Amino acid sequence: MKILITGSEGQVGRCLVKQLHSMTDVKYLALNKHDLDITDPKEVDKTVNEFKPDVIINAAAYTAVDQAEENIELAFSINSDGPKNLAIAANHVGALMLHISTDYVFSGSKEGIYCELDSPSPQNVYGKSKFSGEREVAKHCPRHIILRTSWVFSEYGNNFVKSILRLSKEKNELSIVCDQFGGPTCAGDISNALLVIAKSLLVKSNLEKNKIEFGVYHYSGFPHVSWYEFASYIIEVEIEKQLINKSIHLNSISSLEFPTKASRPKNSKLDCQKIESVFPIKMCNWKSRLKNINEYMRK
Collect all residues with Cβ–Cβ distance below 8 Å to 88 and sequence separation of at least 6.
41, 44, 45, 140, 141
Distances (CA, A) of 128 to 100, 133, 176, 188: 14, 9, 26, 26
Q: What is the C-alpha to C-alpha distance for residues 145 and 214, in angstroms, rounded to an integer?
A: 6
What's residue 290's pLDDT? 94
Secondary structure (DSSP) of 236-281 = HHHHHTTS--S--EEEEE-GGGS--SS---SEE-B--HHHHHHSS-
CATH number of 2-297: 3.40.50.720
- Domain coordinates of the chain in residue numbers? 2-297
Residue 205's pLDDT is 57
| DSSP string across 44-107 | HHHHHHHH--SEEEE------HHHHTT-HHHHHIIIIIHHHHHHHHHHHHT-EEEEEEEGGGS-
**Model confidence, pTM:** 0.95
pLDDT tens-place string over residues 208-234:
556 688 999 999 999 999 999 999 999
CA distance linking residue 293 with residue 164, whole number of Å: 12
Q: Tell me, what's the pLDDT at 92? A: 97
Q: pLDDT in tens for each of the 299 residues of the chain?
A: 999 999 999 999 999 999 999 888 899 999 999 999 999 999 999 999 999 999 999 999 999 999 999 999 999 999 999 999 999 999 999 999 999 999 999 999 999 999 999 999 999 999 999 999 999 999 999 999 999 999 999 999 999 999 999 999 999 999 999 999 999 999 999 999 999 999 999 876 565 556 688 999 999 999 999 999 999 999 999 999 999 989 999 999 999 999 999 999 999 999 999 999 999 998 889 999 999 898 887 65
Burial of 111 by CB count in 10 Å (0-12 exposed, 13-18 middle, 19+ buried)?
exposed
Q: Which is catalytic among the residues 28, 62, 114, 126?
A: 126
Concerning whether 156 is annotated as a catalytic residue, the answer is: no
> Which sign, positive or negative, has the C-alpha torsion 32, 291, 280, 274?
negative
